[in-house]
Structure 1
């Protein structure tokens, strides 16, 4: 058996350790600002090289960078320094070279460093609407980003629409009680030796179910046996039947939905 050719590409599969490195890797304030702007870490050194200090008057102005094209770098530098001064963001002195990690206190601006995980925690808590993919995965953003008013309104509208459909289905159920009772009576008359409904009985039941689907304005394209989706016809009917004290399995509901939509024929 030939050995695997182990080049750099082969070994890259073993380097998925960002979540661990984030506990130890440090950034200067300008580096943190650039990454926060969405610049990939692989391009950090190049973009930092294009920056110029805001001024030379004091340590703070020397540690606020201006980028010729990325205008957000400067205000983010200012915001990060202010966040440390206000006790909202932990920083260290000279990164991994030493110095305690503190939430506030005196650290010269040009010696301030930020652990990546502390930067992520700060952004998630105070700027959840501005989480770049250079720092946060799609899963992180989904978990951490708070629901907006528009998101809430959309969910509320969807919930109300579903409730309206359920109410209509309930109304249809009671309005069609006579047909259901007739079907039950016909089913009960079948002999013990012939547990399956006759073709005519099945067709009648399928037509009744098809009529109920139309009246309730349910989607005929909904897969009949899909009962793990709360908005599927199967789940909606199962929940309504259960709420009325009846016991019918989702599989049985799927059978009748399939029969109603695909097999109902004219007598």
Structure 2
């Protein structure tokens, strides 16, 4: 039994209650991955050691950290984005944390970002449905569209598999044709350079071709009436008797039949 609760990382819940410092939120907004976030945060510096610049951060290899930390810092300063200290608890009206200690809750950051930057939906705050949706498409519509797309993809995959199968069948038929041609040439004494058109003028070729088609078509019915198929016994008798092949033609036909029917291999 699969214990699904072990696989649930509660991503949506974590994002809702997560607490971010300004540089942390800015770095994640820039797309810094979880495995690199600690290193990046250890390398960020304030743009100024005094005043409002203490809440704006920059990184030498991630230039977008500065404008995004500035956007967050300005929203906090303007009272548009609730902030607190390290515990994330929003401060009351008129209260303010030191620039370096300012932290924000994920849910408040998400609400602010939806309003101010509706086209930005970073993965640390928005799930895949939200990231692939816009104001004209709600979650249900997205799921419906995704289901239709997945159904179409399955149809495409099925068509590709069928094409591959048909291609293999075509190659098998062509290989059988070439093998039959070679066997016919060997049995009739025709030249190896004989082309397909010249073969159609050969009575021996046309007769062998007719016998092969007849044998391949009738074999399943004949086999159904036999207790056991013996290639040098009843099969040989059937080919030379009912089908009308001579001994040499019967040997050729048996080789061709083995390409179609596994029990003769």
TM more than 0.5: no
**Normalising to structure 2: TM-score of the pair?**
0.45
Q: Which has the larger radius of gyration?
A: 2
